[in-house]
Each structure stands twice: as C-alpha cells, then as structure tokens.
Structure 1
C-alpha cells in the first residue's frame, strides 16, 4: 500500500463549518480514501505534500444539475438544450464535456435531477467505470410531470394518476434511476402557459412515487416553487424540495419535523434576471416577481434550522457548469443571508446527507474518499474565495488540478 501525506493546512470542520489550523491527512493512493486525519505534521511518510497553510475542504457537491443541457445556445432559439431524438448524440457529447468542466472547477459529486432519454444514467455508469472524467453522479433519468406539465416538453415522462406514477417510477428504477424527480408545480422558464404557483401533480400521485422509491432506498426530489406545491411535496414525503420560492411558516415547521431538505438554486433565477435583453419578456416578469420572495424564503429557512443543500440548476438559461457552484454559494450568503459556515456545510456534509452518501463523501475524515479542494483564502472571511481559478482539485486522492512545482514533495 502506498500512501501520501498532506500536511500544514487549515482543514474544514464539517460540524462547525470552520477551519481548524495545522492539520494533516494521509491518503491511501490505491483506494483513494483517508486512512488518518489529525492535527500537527503527522507521521513521517515517503511521499508528503506541504499544503503551505492553505485552506483544504471537501470537494464541492452540487445537488441539482441537468448534465446534458447545452447553455451555449441562446435561449428560445433552435437547438437550445437537448429535447428531441435527433439531439441525443449531441446530448452525450454535451454531458461528457459538462462533467469534465465541473470536476476541474472543484465539483467532485453531483446529483442530476432530470435529463432527456435517461442520458445521465449511462453517463453516471461510465464515470464510475473510469471511462468518463467528471464528478461522481447520482442520476435520475427523466423527471415526472403531469400531461402538459413542467418539463414535459423536454424529454420528461408524463404521468396521470396513481397507477401511472407507480408503474413509471418502477420502470425508471429498473432502468437505473438512483433518484426520482417530480414536477409538482409550474416554473419560471417552461413557457408563458404556467407559473410557479400553479400546482400540477396531486399529493396522492407524488406520495405513490415516494412509496415506491423509498421501498428501494431511493430518494425523491420535488420541483416545487409555490407555497401550496411545497407543502404538497412535504406531506407526500419527498426528501428535498427544489427551488422553494415561497416557504411559509407552516412549511418550515413541516420541513423540520420531516427532515426535508431545501435546494434553493438561487443562481438560476438571477441569471435570467440579469439578461433582460436575451430572454422573453414573460420570463423576466416571472423571475422578478418571485425573486424577492425567494431570497426571504432561503433566509427564513436557514435561520429556522431547515436542512439546506447547495444546487445550481445548471443547464437552465445562461447557467453553466464551470464556476457556477461557487457563485451559487456566494449568492446564498449575499441574497439568502446564510452564514458562510452554513453555505460551506450545504455544499459538503449536508449535500452528502441529502444524497445518502455521507459515509463516503462530504468530510475530511478516516474512511471517506479523498475528494478535496485547496484554496488560498479562508472562505468564511470571503466566500468568493471558492471561485479561485487556481484552486487544487483532487478526486479519490488523485490530482485533477494540482500545481506540483509550487509545493514541497518528498
């Protein structure tokens, strides 16, 4: 067994969200897992890396992406996104490119929640086999909506009634879905025929899918933006509510009792608002109408102690796969009024708990995979430090981005 020691760094403490000084970690180079973690220089090893008092934290976990979306095309124009059979080959190419981009920006784990024609399930398999470079991915396949509902025109699966939901969820799990996604309400960007407050799937339909998924230990995410849709999703037993623009006091109490997570995806709406000349007027109107409520909802949920996990909704208009995760974290502080510590936890240990992978990811701890990033500045003093262009990125103990010539290796 060969091991590498990393020492002289400020290490992320997942319990507090702060950084502990003068830490070391030893990684088994074959398994990619931490074998020893502590304070001081640690034992002498043949191969050691002096981290130079920089800040080391677990790799970023993004719990809401759409990996096969091509945001390089203008919204509303031909070929935006991947939404028909002729685009399937390009979907695979786009997805593999997006995977590589995310990893090189420090995102080492992702949860894909909706894609066309189950593309993400095979991409996730290929990543685990080592034939695709990118984050470890939990994949949903296509999302479920009512007939004509949110996402139904972009490769989603239309279901109406409990029996159809039950059958479709079982089929998706048979095909390899590791997370189930329901479109409970309308949204911002699907079209001017719907809105975020519009309830689409019924509570009994969502509950039927939750029951089937939970039988197999598979988690369920719900796109729910309006207040009533959010509460329908919680009552139905989903594990996370995505976007959650309008969280009222009743919903907060329900989330705390049930342990429901919120994935805010603040960057998705802000990127639309910031491009008034490039998106339809109805979309701008819808985004600006709900933006203030969204900010207040995130702040109130965080203050109340609701579980929050970071996600970007990457693949929506002008919302890509590069540094957007780090930008989302900045927005959670600026607009969601969360503390930097809360945000760092949301993108590491909280995200891992939501995804059911906290035994392997989300901490710098013995037995965990050595997925980590190293940055120059303490992000609790300046959350923008996560956006650093030259940060080190390691996945399973192997360097992805690492400026070796700048460090002492013995």
Structure 2
C-alpha cells in the first residue's frame, strides 16, 4: 500500500460504495474522500488521466454522503472527473493536474474549493530548486518512473494552478504528503514559485485551510475566542515565504511550547 494505513477502501458497484461509506461513517470519520481518478504517485495502471468510477457509482457515493451530512473530498486529476465532482457537490477537489476552462467556470459557479497539491508533480530530482526541496527529494527515494510521471505532469499542473488563481477560484493549501510540517512548508514555497503572492499563500494555508476542514471558528485567524495556536518568526514571510522556517516562538492554545529567542540573539 502507498500509505501505511492502506491507501483506500476498494469498492465496486453503487451498493458497494454505499456500504463502504456507511461503514466509514460508523467508524467515526469526519469526511469522505473519493478517488475518481488515478494519480501521479501510483502503480503503472493508476494514471491521472484515467477515470475509475462509473456514473451510477459516483451518484450513489455522493448521494449517501449528502444524505448523511458528510462532505466529499474528491481526488480528481483530469477534466471530466473534476467536472463530475463539482457538479455532484464535492466540498473540495484535490490535485486537478489536468483541467479545462469549463472546470474553472464550475469552480467559480459552485464555489468549490481547489487544493492543488503542487508538491506531487513538482518535487523530483530534476525540479528541486533549493536545498529544502533537494533534501526532501533525497529522503523520499522516489522510483525513477514516478519521478518521470511527475516531471511530465508538472507544466500542465502549474498552468492550471495559475489559471485558477487568476480567475479567483477558492483555493486552500494542502500538501497531500507527509511529514506534514515539512511538506506544508515546501508546498508554500511551490505556490510562490508558481506565481502566488506570499499573502495569497498564507491565506490559503491558514483561514482557507481552516474553512476547508470546518474549523474556521477555532483556527485560521488571530481573533478573540479562537485557539491561540500561533508561531512567531524572525523575519517577515511577506518578503520571503521561506522566512516561515525562521521560528522564534511556537504557541499551543496560548502556551509557549518552543522558544528559540535566546538562540537567535
């Protein structure tokens, strides 16, 4: 399996999806993620331009989620899958490696969130642009064929990210890969490298990400009544997004849990 927990529950037929989703709900999940397509980081038969689900399977899966009040996060990597996910009421579309103008229009019409996960197509030996990216790539030990697939997808992925950003699509920052802290920092760097401003990137990683996760009442902004989960950095990340790595303080619910102020003097 790609993930230690097992990549996903495999289902066949409308009732197979309904049964599996009911079981996941019974087991206490917060949301349902549906894989509508293949991906970049997968086996040879699992390509991102391949769609997996039939129409009746898609409709059944979305119907039971909506009936039970659970949001759907849609892994969708090609134009038809992106459009199907949005029309059926997905809360987010993850990846969107290949899209078209109609996808952008539907994002805007339905106000669906787009989580582009640039790291998946951008972090390979041939694309690593700084020491942090190079170290990440070295530690992941990606197979050559997966790196090739990522390299082949990167330009189009970047182009549709830029189109979505320019059009005003609602976007949140998510890395899709672990470890979460380093992956999130790398993803923020990739957003800026691909044309987002540091401010747009920070919004995507904070208030927008909180809204996607349904915790915007507690997290995402510094406001009275919210959890004071905060960082203090040495330099302004609006000048350079990588300044987020220069931590001085980390606060958890208002309490200092890491203090590097003396080390920086």
Question: TM-score with structure 1 length normalisation?
Answer: 0.58
Counterpart of 1:209? 61
Deviations 1:202-254 (A, max 9, x none): 34423332332233432211111111221121122111111111121100110
Asked if 1:384 is matched to 2:242, the reply is: yes
Q: CA RMSD in A?
A: 2.3
Q: What's 1:181 paired with?
A: 33
Cα 1:194–1:252, aligned 2, differ >3 Å: closer, same or farther? same
Larger radius of gyration: 1
Cα gap change, 1:398 to 1:215, in 2 (>3 Å) = farther
Output one character per residue of 1:13-68: Cα deviation in whole Å (capped at 9) or x when no partner: xxxxxxxxxxxxxxxxxxxxxxxxxxxxxxxxxxxxxxxxxxxxxxxxxxxxxxxx
Question: How far, CA to CA, are the matches of 2:123 and 2:183 in structure 1?
Answer: 10
TM-score when normalising by structure 2: 0.87
Q: Does the Cα contact within 8 Å between 2:198 and 2:238 map onto a contact in 1?
A: yes
CA apart distance, 1:406:
8.0
Instruction: For residue 345 of structure 1, report the CA deviation from its aligned partner.
Output: 0.6
Q: Output one character per residue of 1:264-312: Cα deviation in whole Å (capped at 9) or x when no partner.
A: 1112222235459954343233211111001011111011111111111
Verify the 8 A CA contact 1:372 1:393 in the aligned structure 2: yes
Unaligned runs of 5+ in 2: 127-136
* Equivalent residue in structure 2 for 1:397, among 250, 254, 257: 254
8 Å CA contact 2:2, 2:42 repeated in 1: no
Q: Provide the aligned length of Structure 1 versus Structure 2.
A: 253
Give the C-alpha shift of residue 178 in structure 1.
0.3
Cα contact 2:17–2:57 (8 A) shared by 1: yes
Offset from partner CA, 1:136-164 (integer Å, 9 cap, x none): xxxxxxxxxxxxxxxxxx44211122211
1:283 aligns with 2:146: yes
Alignment of 1:184-333 (within 5 A): 184-274=36-126, 278-315=141-178, 320-333=179-192
Would you say the 8 A contact 1:203–1:236 is kept in 2? Answer: no
How far apart, CA to CA, are the structure 2 residues paired with 1:333 and 1:404? 28
Pairwise mapping of residues 94-133 of structure 1 onto structure 2 (< 5 A)?
Answer: 116=5
Moved more, 276-285 or 201-210: 276-285
**Residues 207 and 221 of structure 2 are in contact (CA less than 8 Å); yes or no, is this contact kept in structure 1?**
yes
Secondary structure of residue in 1 paired with 2:73: strand
Which structure has the highest helix share of the two? 2
Greater per-residue strand proportion: 1
